[in-house]
Structure 1
Amino acid sequence: MKSINPKDLSSKDNYKLLSGSVIPRPIAFVTSLNEEGILNAAPFSFFNMVAGTPPLIVLSVGRIKGEIKKHTGRNILQQKQFVVHILDTDLLEKMNQTSAPYGDDVSEVERVGFTPIESTDIAVPGVKEAKIRLECQLFQHIPLEEDGKCQNDLFIGKVVKYHIDEQIYDNGRILADQLDPIARLAGPNYAKLSETIFLERPTKGE
């Protein structure tokens, strides 16, 4: 067993070890609006759910040299709203294209050929092709600081409306096989669901 102190590693090397260890990760495909009304879209794998009551999701967005440069981070702070999508593997190529370094005046949604769709409870549109859309309002913003420096921002979003494709919805449950979600591994590697393991939770301790 190899033991490594994170303090002995560069930021890049820590990222490699963490992103290669914490796998597979779900991907949030996030749409947000800038001040000019341009619809931005980008994928993030530092993402998960954190509570059911209230329904909360969490998203970590990295800074660039300590500044909030990424469109998603800036837009969420300005508008206090965003949409999280869970995309299926058929949309992987389009999703990947949105991660290119487009300028502020370019909508990644339009550039890669996604179809914008109006939200019902917030002003930020979503993407019609997604089987799941979660309309979110900003619940809490936490700059992640250490030694007076901040390299990441944690955004906690409160889900205010679910939009779910009827083909993957069954009596209050999501059909994972029908959803066929994209998962993230390390580097430029992705994964999909292969085998589902059913295991009842124990009702008594021994």
Structure 2
Amino acid sequence: MELQIDKLERQEKYKLLIGCVIPRPIAWITSLGADGLLNAAPFSYFNVASIEPMMVSIAIMRKPGGQPKDTARNIAATNEFVVNMVDIHNVDAVNQTSADYPPDVSEVEALDLSTAPSTLVRVPRLQASRIHFECRLHQIVELGTPTTSDLVIGEVVHVHVADELYERGRIDARGFAPVSRLAGSTYATLGDLFDRTRPVYEPKMK
């Protein structure tokens, strides 16, 4: 099967990408509007972008008509956000915040989600998460002509990890029990773990 991109409709491209690029980690982002309204929304176009400086990236698709989503607009206005990591214990709450709430309604208030203050940014953290990345905006890259997605690159300035998940400088993956996105309405847990040692290149002797 070969698929010509210029022959595919938008929905076909969408289904192809989210069906092939799996599993995808989820960023449960809290952000503050210019009016102080606290927003929470999940995004699965999320990953590590850089180690030094420590950065993450989130692609936030725009609404029909090219309007930025609340999260992208808030980050552009305040230059701050928090990535609250998703696990098996909070995934139901995460899913609830994916509903299309009006801009003047806070998902956090509507769902009665508990928050905690951050250390270096003004945006609160969600207590339902056990790992948080406090971020400051590094750059927003507009993708598409006209723009259809805002690629947000944030510098991680502070991290919170629950004590039970941090051991000898590493995260306990099984204890973390992260949840990822697949296609459609399907999520996935960590599943089986296995190791593969990274090989060392050794040139053949002539």
TM-score normalized by the length of structure 1: 0.95
Which residue does the alignment assign to 1:186? Answer: 183
**1:15 Cα deviation after fit:** 0.5
**1:110 Cα deviation after fit:** 2.3
Q: Which structure 2 residues correspond to residues 123-202 of structure 1 after superposition, within 5 A?
A: 123-145=122-144, 148-202=145-199
Residue 35 of structure 2 is aligned to residue 30 of structure 1: no
**1:105 Cα deviation after fit:** 2.2
Consecutive aligned runs of 4 or more in structure 1 exceeding 6 Å deviation: none
TM-superposition CA deviations, 1:18-49 (whole Å, max 9, x none): 00000000000000001111110000000000
Which residue does the alignment assign to 1:58? Answer: 57
Aligned partners of 1:116, 1:203: CA distance in 2, in Å? 46
Q: Which structure 2 residues correspond to residues 8-157 of structure 1 after superposition, within 5 A?
A: 8-145=7-144, 148-157=145-154
Letter in structure 2 aligned against 1:23 = I
**1:66 Cα deviation after fit:** 4.4
Letter in structure 1 aligned against 2:85 = I
Identity of aligned residues (%): 40
Query: Is 1:88–1:182's contact at 8 Å kept on the other side of the alignment?
Result: yes
Count of residues in Structure 1 that have an aligned counterpart in Structure 2? 203
TM-superposition CA deviations, 1:141-161 (whole Å, max 9, x none): 10012xx31101100000000
The alignment partner of 1:90 has SS state of coil
Which residue does the alignment assign to 1:204? Answer: 201
| Structure 2, unaligned runs of 5 or more | none
Query: Is 2:83–2:134's contact at 8 Å kept on the other side of the alignment?
Result: yes
TM-score normalized by the length of structure 2: 0.95
The alignment partner of 2:153 has SS state of strand
**1:199 Cα deviation after fit:** 1.7
| Structure 1, unaligned runs of 5 or more | none
**1:177 Cα deviation after fit:** 0.5
Over the aligned positions, Cα root-mean-square deviation in angstroms equals 1.2
Aligned partners of 1:127, 1:173: CA distance in 2, in Å? 22
Aligned partners of 1:205, 1:156: CA distance in 2, in Å? 37
TM-superposition CA deviations, 1:53-91 (whole Å, max 9, x none): 000100000112342331101101101100001121121
Aligned partners of 2:186, 2:28: CA distance in 1, in Å? 16
